[in-house]
């Protein structure tokens, strides 16, 4: 008998457990709009789960309002307020109910009651303000935070939250005012504010931010505000004014110049060479040789001066000699060492590629690779460049030997892949096309996008032309012309290309001949002539493998050298639309969007 009683009790317990309302089913009803069924389940859940009563109550109330059971909703609210009189969010819900019932005056009384009942407790204030904000009652949310400031006796206690409410309300001036209040109250939150500004502040409103910053700095010269002011200039690509602020900040805080150095790098990348030079010179002259950025600044200064001269392609030999003198004076003072190795590489590049003094370039790099204590990667780079210069001077054996050394030493690294590519290209120059193509195919998976693209181009070029409508002899002549271009022997290359065109008029290399002539014209700064060659390829050889390359090069020429951005946009668009499978399509789309004025990451 006793066992039977236990059994019955056990089954009763199981039955009771199964009778518990299912919150997942209630939520499913709610999502499906079956509010009557959901309301009943939520009511049961409130009664059986006191700890989660408030969560279920919100859903229950929403169901009643959607069913227009306003009297039941009001009764439920009254009971809930009686149970939790300090839950100020309930008064917002009560106000929302009155609005649904068409009683705006009663609704306002509830909202006022909510604000009046708020306490100094942070979570209570935030909870109420968020309840108002979720209901798009932004003015009440603002009043809630302002009441919180009063209770906390701190006018900036909820500055960030107020800024966010004003942002959602669309009041930019007030939003900025409170973001700045927040930074003044807690400078460690600078990055958070910058993130919000970068995400939400339109470019047209940056002058207002700068106006407010200048006004505050006149009253209180806070470093954080100066830093933010500099940041606003950087966002607008105004590196000159940003540099002025960073230099002032560097002096005031007695910093080592890290902000100035980084900004100079950013300015250099944006081709604002004057600002970059000013930044590097500040570090060199103001900070001195013991500064950790001294040698880096010196090296970058030389590099930027060279870019300033050569990027415009309007330089004279006198300009180049003046830059050469700067490098030589520095190396004479500090010698060739671990700290100056990169400058030696850059000077050798200046000699080889611009002044055309290959023996001097080779001597500089031979000295460098024999100097003890130079970093392994720097020596590898010097050897690759040295191999290039040997190849330019006609010493093929020494060139391939150096490429092979770097390939072996840096087998799984980027330098090794670059050396392998250049060795394969050297075989291509010599007419060993099958071996070269095998190497290019292996390099298609290179981690360097540029290297992989070049390997793909040469592999496809060989496959497309070899033993099809072009003879091996024609290919060999073309490859020899490419070597002449690499060696800066442009007149000889053009004569060879003209001969190729005459001797093999039916060859499929016609687009390649035009492409190489266009590259020669660019190197000679004959930009209009280069553009004409590219245009001819696109118009007459649109289905050949050089078409997308020519289209991209033509667009770049128009954008950067000939001052025709609108025409460049048309060509970029044609490339990513008509040649969507090209490896250049993604970059063409990006450049198109930049020229159109889009914000591109």
Q: What is the DSSP letter of 204?
A: G
Same domain, yes or no: 343 and 287: no
pLDDT at 480 over 90: yes
Is residue 470's pLDDT more than 60?
no
Q: Looking at the predicted structure, is the pLDDT value of residue 337 above 80?
A: yes
Q: What proportion of the chain, given as a percentage, has pLDDT over 70?
A: 94
* Predicted confidence band of residue 600 (pLDDT cuts 50, 70, 90): low
Residue 420, judged by CB atoms within 10 A of its CB (0-12, 13-18, 19+), counts as buried
- Under the banding of pLDDT at 50, 70 and 90, the label for residue 463 is confident
3-state helix, strand, coil in the chain (%, to 5): 80, 0, 20
Predicted confidence band of residue 18 (pLDDT cuts 50, 70, 90)? very low
Whole-angstrom Cα distance, residue 256 to residue 577? Answer: 49
- What is the residue range of 332's domain? 323-409
pLDDT at 314 over 80: no
pTM score: 0.71
4: pLDDT strictly greater than 70? no
| Confidence band of 467 (pLDDT split at 50, 70, 90) | low
227 and 260 in a single domain? The answer is: no
Do residues 270 and 340 share a domain?
Answer: no
Residue 398: inside a domain, yes or no?
A: yes
Residues 172 and 229 in one domain: yes
Domain-located, residue 223 = yes
CATH, residue 344 = 1.25.40
Give residue 23's pLDDT: 85
Domain assignment present for 173: yes
Of the pLDDT bands very low, low, confident and very high (cuts 50, 70, 90), residue 558 is very high
Contact 513, 497 (CB under 8 A): yes
Q: Which of 394, 409, 424 is at the close of a domain?
A: 409
Residue at 445 is within a domain: no
What is the average per-residue pLDDT within 364-369?
96
Q: Report yes or no on 188 lying in a domain.
A: yes
Question: What confidence tier does 449 reach under pLDDT thresholds 50, 70, 90?
Answer: confident
**459 part of a folded domain:** no
**339 and 277, same structural domain?**
no
Identify the three-state secondary structure at position 470: strand
pLDDT of residue 468: 60
Considering the domain architecture, whether residues 520 and 585 belong to the same structural domain is answered as yes
CATH code assigned at 553? 1.25.40.10
Q: Residue 12 pLDDT more than 60?
A: no
Q: Looking at the domain assignment, is residue 501 inside a domain? A: yes
Q: Give yes or no: residues 539 and 494 share one domain.
A: yes
Instruction: Please tell me the distance from the alpha carbon of residue 351 to that of residue 404, in angstroms, as a whole number.
Output: 24
261 and 340 part of one domain: no
Residues 250 and 291 both lie in one domain: yes
Average pLDDT over residues 115-136: 88
Do 259 and 367 lie in a common domain? Answer: no
Closest CA to 75 of 86, 65, 88: 65
Say yes or no to pLDDT of 601 above 90: no
Phi-psi region of 563 (alpha: psi -120 to 50; beta: other; left: phi over 0): left
Q: Domain ends where: 236, 261, 276?
A: 236
Shared domain check, 563 and 481: yes
Tokens of 356: 């055309």
511/569 same-domain check: yes
Domain count, the chain: 4
pLDDT tops 90 at residue 14: no
C-alpha 386/C-alpha 383 separation (Å) is: 5
Would you say residue 561 lies in a domain?
Answer: yes
């Amino acid at each position: 008998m006793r066992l039977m009683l236990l059994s019955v009790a056990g089954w009763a317990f199981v039955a009771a457990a199964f009778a518990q309302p299912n919150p997942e089913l209630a939520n499913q009803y709610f999502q499906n709009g079956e509010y009557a069924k959901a309301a009943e389940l939520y009511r049961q859940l409130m009664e059986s789960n006191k700890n989660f009563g408030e969560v279920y109550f919100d859903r229950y109330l929403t169901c009643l309002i959607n069913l227009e059971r306003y009297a039941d909703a009001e009764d439920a609210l009254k009971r809930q307020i009686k149970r939790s009189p300090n839950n100020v969010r309930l008064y917002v819900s009560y106000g929302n109910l009155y609005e649904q019932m068409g009683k705006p005056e009663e609704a306002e009384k509830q909202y006022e009651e909510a604000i009046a009942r708020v306490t100094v407790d942070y979570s209570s204030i935030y909870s109420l303000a968020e309840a108002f904000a979720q209901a798009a009652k932004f003015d009440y949310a603002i009043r809630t935070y302002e009441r919180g400031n009063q209770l906390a006796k701190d006018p900036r206690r909820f500055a960030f939250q107020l800024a966010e409410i004003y942002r959602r309300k669309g009041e930019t001036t007030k939003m900025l005012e409170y973001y700045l209040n927040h930074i003044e109250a807690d400078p460690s939150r600078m990055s958070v504010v910058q993130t919000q500004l970068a995400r939400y502040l339109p470019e047209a409103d940056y002058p207002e931010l700068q106006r407010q910053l200048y006004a505050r700095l006149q009253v209180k010269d806070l470093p954080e505000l100066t830093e933010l002011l500099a940041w606003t200039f950087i966002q607008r690509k105004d590196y000159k004014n940003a540099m002025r602020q960073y230099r002032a900040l560097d002096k005031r805080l007695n910093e080592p110049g890290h902000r100035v150095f980084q900004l100079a790098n950013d300015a250099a990348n944006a081709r604002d060479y004057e600002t970059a030079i000013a930044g590097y010179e500040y570090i060199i002259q103001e900070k001195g040789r013991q500064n950790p950025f001294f040698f880096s600044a010196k090296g970058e200064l030389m590099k930027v001066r060279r870019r300033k001269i050569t990027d415009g392609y309007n330089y004279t030999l006198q300009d180049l000699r003046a830059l050469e003198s700067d490098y030589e004076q520095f190396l004479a003072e500090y010698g060739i060492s671990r700290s100056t190795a990169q400058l030696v590489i850059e000077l050798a590049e200046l000699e080889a590629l611009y002044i055309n003094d290959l023996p001097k370039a080779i001597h500089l790099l031979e000295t460098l690779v024999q100097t003890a204590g130079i970093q392994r990667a720097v020596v590898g780079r010097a050897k690759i460049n040295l191999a290039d210069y040997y190849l330019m001077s006609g010493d093929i054996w020494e060139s391939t030997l150096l490429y092979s050394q770097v390939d072996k030493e840096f087998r799984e690294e980027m330098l090794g892949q670059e050396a392998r590519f250049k060795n394969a290209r050297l075989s291509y120059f010599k007419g060993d096309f099958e071996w070269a193509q095998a190497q290019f195919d292996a390099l298609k998976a290179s981690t360097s996008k540029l290297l992989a693209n070049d390997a793909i181009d040469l592999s496809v070029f060989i496959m497309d032309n070899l033993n099809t409508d072009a003879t091996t002899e024609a290919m060999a002549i073309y490859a020899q012309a490419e070597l002449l271009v690499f060696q800066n022997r442009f007149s000889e290359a053009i004569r060879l290309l003209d001969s190729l065109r005459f001797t093999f008029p039916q060859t499929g290399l016609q687009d390649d001949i035009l492409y190489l002539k266009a590259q020669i014209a660019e190197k000679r700064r004959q930009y209009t002539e280069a553009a004409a060659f590219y245009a001819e390829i696109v118009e007459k050889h649109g289905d050949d493998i050089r078409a997308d390359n020519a289209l991209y090069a033509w667009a770049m020429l128009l954008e950067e050298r000939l001052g025709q951005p609108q025409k460049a946009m048309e060509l970029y668009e044609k490339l990513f639309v008509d040649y969507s499978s090209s490896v250049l399509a993604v970059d063409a789309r990006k450049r198109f969007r930049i020229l159109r004025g889009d914000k591109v990451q």
